[in-house]
Chain A
Amino acid sequence: MQMRAWLLDPAPASRRQAQLGGWFRAWLAFRRNTLGMIGLGIVLLLIGVAAFAPLIVDPASALTQVLADRLQPSSWAHPFGTDELGRDILARVVFGARITLTIVVLVSLIVVPIGLAIGLPAGYFGGWIDAALMRFTDIFLAFPRLVLALAFAAALGPGIENAVIAIALTAWPPYARLARAETLTRRRSEFIQAAELQGASHLRIIATQIVPLCLPSVIIRLTLDMAGIILTAAGLGFLGLGAQPPSPEWGAMVSTGREVLLDQWWVATIPGLAIFVTSLGFNLLGDGLRDVSSGRG
C-alpha cells in the first residue's frame, strides 16, 4: 500500500516519481476497461506462447511428417488434430505465433521510423518542406494496401521478408500524418522556444523534446494497426505470397486446409481462429488504450 501511496502522491518529490505515478494512474484507468484487459490478456498470451513455444509443444512435431497419422481428428495426442502431412496442428499453431509476432515486430520497426522521419520535419519546419513531404505521403495514402502489397510481393518474390517489406511500404503514411499533427500542436509551445533560446539544434529539439511526446499516440495507433498488419500478412500467406512451406504460417495453413475443408474441417479452421483471436486481441487492446488516452475510460 505504501508503494501505491508513493505512486499516487499529488506532490511527487522527483521527476521519476512523477513519471511512474503518471503511468500508474494510466494503468488504473485502463484496468477498469474490461474489453481492453481481455485484449491485453490475449496479446500477453501470444507473446508468452511465442517465447515458450518449445516448452509448450515438441518442436519436432510441428514439422515432422507422419503420413500414417494424416488428417486425424482431435485426440489426446493431437488436441487440434493433424494436417494433410500428419503434422500436429497445435504445435504448428504455437510455432506460428512466432512468425506472426516476428512479422508484426519487423513491420513496426520499419514503419515507425519512416513515419517519424517524414512527419516530424514536416510539422516542425512547415512551409514547402511540409507541403512536399505531405504530398508524397498522400500519394501513398491513396493506394489500396493489400493490392499494392500483393504487387510488391509478386515483384520481390514470395517469402516472409518480402511480405514484411511489402506491408511496411504501404503502412507508413498514417504515422507520418500522426507525427506531423502531434508536432504541429507542440511546435509553438514555450518549452520548445526555451530550448531554442538555449541554443539547442533542431535535431536535438526534435529528438529530445518532440519525439517523446509523439510516442504515446504512435504506440496507440500501432496497436490498432497490428490487427490490420496481421490480417494483411495472413492474406498474403493465404495467397501463397508470405512465409513458404513448410513453415507454420497461419494464413498458409488455412490455405492448405482448404483442400480438405468439407471432410476435415479443423485443418483450415483452427489456424484461422488463431488469426482472428490474435487480431481481435490487438484491436481490443488498442481500443482500450485509446479510450484511456482520450479520457473516456
Chain B
Amino acid sequence: MSGATSGAGHTVGGVARRIVAPLRRLGALLFSVALTFLGLTGVTFAIGRFMPIDPVIAIVGDKASQETYDRVYRELGLDQPVLVQYGTYLGKIARGDFGNSVMTARPVLEDLVRVFPATIELAFLALVIGVVLGIPFGVIAATNRGRWPDQIVRFMSLVGYSMPVFWLGLVGLLLFYAKLGWVEGPGRLDVAFDDIVAPVTGMLTIDALLAGENDVFVNALGHLVLPASILGFLSLAYIARMTRSFMLAQLEQEYILAALAKGLSPWRIIWVHALGNVWVQLVTVIALTFGSLLEGAVLTETVFAWPGLGLYMKNSLFAADLNAVLGGTLLIGAIYILLNMLSDLVYAMVDPRAREPN
C-alpha cells in the first residue's frame, strides 16, 4: 500500500474507492438482476392469469357441482386480489414449488431436474463446437480482412443466422442418418442400450464413461453428435462473427504495431497478444450463446426426439400443461439472467477498464 506513506485523507479516499465502489457496483448489479427476475416472474404470472383455460375446470372437470367449483376456486386463491396472488406465486417459486405437472402427475421441479441434464449435454457440446471452430474462423477472417477467407466466414455466418434450425435438423437426419448412416437416429440411445448405466449426472455420455460401458458411450455419442453439430453451427456463426469484429478493433491498435516493430512473429502477435485482449469480450458472447442454445434446443429436441427440457416444454404445451410450460420458461429465463450477470462480473474482474468508471 503506497497510501501508508502519503496523507491520511488520500489513504481513506483510496481505500474507500477500492472497497466501496466495487461493492456499490455489485449492489447495483444484484438489484438489476433481482428486478429482472421479478419482471420474469411477473410475465409468467400474467401468462398464467390470462390463459384461456379455466384452472379450476382443469382440476375438477366440467361436470363438477358449483360447490366443488367454488371450493377449489378458493383453494387456488383465485378470490384474492391479484397482488396477493402474485405474492403467493413468488413465495412458491422461492421454495421451488412450480406446481404439479398435469401430464406426468409429478411436481414440475422434479420433472425439470430429470430432463434438464439431457439439454445441458446437448447445449454444452454444441457450445464446445461453436467455440473451438468459431474463434479460429473469426481470427482468420479478421487477419484476412476483405480477402476470400473473410468473405467465406462472413457468408457462412449469414447462412447460420438465416437457417431454420428445425429444418437443418431434418435435412441432417435425412442425409447423415437415413442416406449415409454415419450417425445414429433420433433419441439419446438405441433401445438395446437402455437402462444399462445407472443415471449419475443424467448426461448419458458421462454416465457411460463413469460406468466403464464403452459401447453405451459410443452409441450415446453417435446420437448426440448430429443435433450438437447442428446447434453448434448456429453458435459458430455468431461466435465467428463477433470474434472477427473484436479482433479487427484490436489489430488497429498501436501496441500491435509496436510488437511488429519489436520483431515478434505475426503468428504470436495475432494469437497471443491480440486474441488475449479479446477474451474478455468473448466471455460475454459465449455466455449469451449458451443462453440462445438453450432456446434453440426447444426446436432441435423436437426434431431429434431428444428427451430434454425443450421436448418436455413442447409436449406440455400441447397437453395444456401450463405449470410445466411456465416452469420451463422460468428455468430458461433464470439461466439467461444469471448468464448475463456472470458475464458482467467476469468482464469487470478481467478488464480493469470496466472496473474504473473513468
Give the interface size class of chain B.
Answer: 35 or more
B240 within 8 A of A: no
Tell me the nearest residue of chain A to B178, going by C-beta. A262
Docked pose: A258 CA to B178 CA in angstroms:
13
Q: Tell me which residues across on chain B come within 8 A of A265, comparing CB atoms.
A: 174
Name the one of B36, B158, B291 contacting A144, with C-beta atoms under 8 angstroms. Answer: B291
Q: Tell me which residues across on chain B come within 8 A of A148, comparing CB atoms.
A: 43, 329, 333
Docked pose: A239 CA to B297 CA in angstroms:
13
A235 within 8 A of B: yes
Q: Tell me which residues across on chain B come within 8 A of A228, comparing CB atoms.
A: 161
Residue-wise, chain B 319-350 has the 8 Å CB interface mask toward A (1 for contact) of 00010011011001100110010000000000
Given A254-B167, A262-B174, A269-B170, A142-B158 contact (CB < 8 Å): no
A151 within 8 A of B: yes
User: Interface stretch among A2-10, A83-91, A208-216, A271-279?
Assistant: A271-279
Docked pose: A265 CA to B172 CA in angstroms:
12
Docked pose: A284 CA to B317 CA in angstroms:
35
Tell me the nearest residue of chain B to A272, going by C-beta. B167
Docked pose: A251 CA to B333 CA in angstroms:
25
A-side interface residues, number (CB < 8 Å): 48
Given A138-B32, A139-B36, A284-B158, A146-B295 contact (CB < 8 Å): yes
Given A143-B43, A261-B174, A276-B314 contact (CB < 8 Å): no
Docked pose: A20 CA to B168 CA in angstroms:
43
B50 within 8 A of A: yes
Given A251-B164, A261-B174, A280-B159, A157-B332 contact (CB < 8 Å): no
7 other A-B residue contacts (CB within 8 Å) besides A143-B40, A239-B299: A142-B36, A145-B295, A150-B298, A154-B51, A156-B50, A156-B52, A276-B163
Question: Which residues of chain A have a CB within 8 Å of any CB of chain B?
Answer: 35, 135, 138-140, 142-148, 150-152, 154-157, 227-228, 231, 234-235, 238-241, 251, 254-255, 257-258, 261-262, 265, 268-269, 272-273, 275-276, 279-280, 282-284, 287
11 sample A-B contacts, Cβ–Cβ < 8 Å, listed by A number: A142-B36, A142-B39, A144-B332, A227-B161, A231-B163, A235-B165, A238-B299, A238-B302, A275-B167, A276-B162, A283-B161
Task: Give 10 closest A-B pairs by Cβ, nearest first.
Answer: A272-B167, A139-B39, A280-B162, A279-B162, A155-B47, A155-B51, A151-B329, A275-B164, A146-B295, A142-B36
